[in-house]
Structure 1
Amino acid sequence: MKLLAVKPGEEVIATLSRCAAEAGITNGAIVSLIGAIDACAISNMPATDANSDVVTEYRQPFELSGTGEIVDGKVHVHVVLGREGDMALAGHLHWAKVDTFFVHAYTLSLSADDR
């Protein structure tokens, strides 16, 4: 298992992509994602069209948890975001900015035999 860390001043998807490449993880699982972010964009599908995305941007702090995968070097993450008022949002993470805290991704790499 490898820990990929996103520090203040970094963007989550770009940093995880870079760190995975540096660790030699081309294909694998993001088993657990935990931390806090200050802004992000997530998407969900409209009820009438499973092939479309509705992307919404948020500029506020969130607690973050999630899981995902790395396929052919591309990071794909789904998250649950907790915000003020004990409310939660969930969706596909397009980008997230860490300014105050951190995000940690615990990853497992797949070998060629595992695919």
Structure 2
Amino acid sequence: MLLVSVQPGQEVMETIATQLAERGVTDGAVVSLIGAVDECCISNMPADDASKDILTEYRQPFELTGTGEIKDGKVHLHVVLGREGDAALAGHLHWARVETFFVNAYVLAL
């Protein structure tokens, strides 16, 4: 099991991809993702066309949990984001910035 840690001032997807590439990981499973982000972009599919994405950006703090995979060096994450008012959002993570806390990814390399 590998631990990839994203610290304040870093972007989640880029940092995870870079740290895994440095360790020679091109394929694997992100079995757990936990932490908090300060802004992010997620996508979901429109009801009438599963081949398209609706991207939405958020500029507020979120608790974050998720899972994913690394395939041919590309990181693919699905996340659940908890925000003020005990509301949750879910989707495919495109980017996220850590400014206040951290995000840890626990990865099993294949």
Distance 1:66 1:23 in 2: 22
The TM-score normalised by the length of structure 1 is: 0.95
Name the residue aligned to 1:15: 15
User: Could you tell me the TM-score, scaled by structure 2's length?
Assistant: 0.99
Structure 2 unmatched runs, 5+: none
**CA deviation after TM superposition for structure 1 residue 23, in Å:** 1.4
Aligned to 1:78: 78
Greater Rg by CA = 1
What is the one-letter code of the residue matched to 1:79?
V
Q: Number of paired residues?
A: 110
* Residue aligned with 2:46, SS: coil
In the alignment, what sits opposite 2:28? 28
RMSD: 0.3
Unaligned runs of 5+ in 1: 111-115
Counterpart for residue 113 of structure 1: none
Q: Percent identity?
A: 70
Q: Deviations over 1:6-52 (max 9, x none)?
A: 00000000000001101111000000000000000000000000000
